[in-house]
Amino acid sequence: MLAPELHDAADVFAQAVTRPLLRTQAVLAVDGLADQLLAGKVVGSRAALHQARLILADPDDVSAIEVDPVNLALDYVERRMNEILNSSG
């Protein structure tokens, strides 16, 4: 259920990012994470989450306010992934 929501909301999460390249990278990173979640790939999901965080960690002249919505979404996804993994293990 989480992955389709991510696909639907990827653009919304990144809409505050004014640099077009960073916005595109953020959307692609969130979509990539959603793809890995849909495929049920735990390792791939973790790698995609890490990649998304790397993209957002070094925005040269982008304010934190622009990337905060994406970071908050990633925090939520990570919590949900951990909850799901802990409940099944």
Region at 14 (left for phi over 0; alpha for psi -120 to 50; beta for the rest): alpha
Tens of pLDDT, residue by residue, the chain (89 residues): 567 777 677 777 777 778 888 888 888 888 888 888 888 888 898 999 999 888 888 666 677 787 888 888 889 888 888 887 788 75
**CA 35/CA 17 separation, integer angstroms:** 22
Amino acid at 23: R
Amino acid at 19: R
**CA 89/CA 78 separation, integer angstroms:** 16
User: In the chain, how many domains are there?
Assistant: 1
User: Which pLDDT belongs to residue 59?
Assistant: 64
Residue 25's domain comprises 2-88
The model's pTM: 0.78
Where do we find the tokens 């939520």?
Answer: 76
